[in-house]
Structure 1
């Protein structure tokens, strides 16, 4: 499905101070996301890639891993150091990693 340029990391291997890029849609982000994540929907990534640091590892997340794999491949092909988070936000939530929401409700993965 994807080229060989899509490194994968397990959710518990993502450092709490790591640069976490969430490429999900706005409604998914508002329902629940990692507190320190940066939100750039996949559809906007090409135009906003300059906001992503090139001098550190980038961990990319979506709901289950498909969109983030696309983002990782594009970023790595363009010179970033990015890795896909296995299982996405679904795995993040199951692992009990911290989550917050933007809508005042309990955070959840949609």
Structure 2
């Protein structure tokens, strides 16, 4: 059985991409994360983040993300994620509308782990919401 497609990242046009384009955008987002060129922000609740998260991310839960825009660099791309991509999609839309180069990790942390990507801490899990 082959792994599921890598989680696509929705970009500025927020459209559904053909599979090849989705892979390309996901690869681009992964490079941005790996090279620390993008800010990766988890908008889940604290207990969810503590259970498992993308290495090197920042945590700003949905209730506070709009209040902490000063902590997010507007000059760098930002990738938001949550458990399944719904909450992060809302954050992405709001930040994009306000002028940030914002992306949503489509499928969220569930898709991330299904693709075989690692979580922190070691043995981390995707917590229920």
Q: What is the TM-score with the length of structure 2 in the denominator?
A: 0.72
Q: State how far apart, in whole Å, the 2-side matches of 1:6 and 1:35 are.
A: 27
Say which of 40, 51, 65 aligns to 1:20. Answer: 40
2:107 maps to 1:87: yes
The residue correspondences of 1:41-80 to structure 2 (distance < 5 A) are 41-80=61-100
CA-atom RMSD in angstroms: 1.9
Tell which structure's C-alpha radius of gyration is larger: 2
Deviations 1:3-36 (A, max 9, x none): xx66376654422123111100001000000111
Unpaired runs of 5+ residues, structure 2, are: 1-11, 16-21
Q: State how far apart, in whole Å, the 1-side matches of 2:43 and 2:54 are.
A: 12
Q: State how far apart, in whole Å, the 1-side matches of 2:84 and 2:41 are.
A: 14
Greater RCO (Cα-Cα under 8 Å, separation 6 or more): 1
Count of residues in correspondence between the two structures: 103
3-state DSSP class of the match of 1:43?
A: coil
Deviations 1:31-88 (A, max 9, x none): 0001111100011011111111100111110000110010001111111110111110
2:123 maps to 1:106: yes
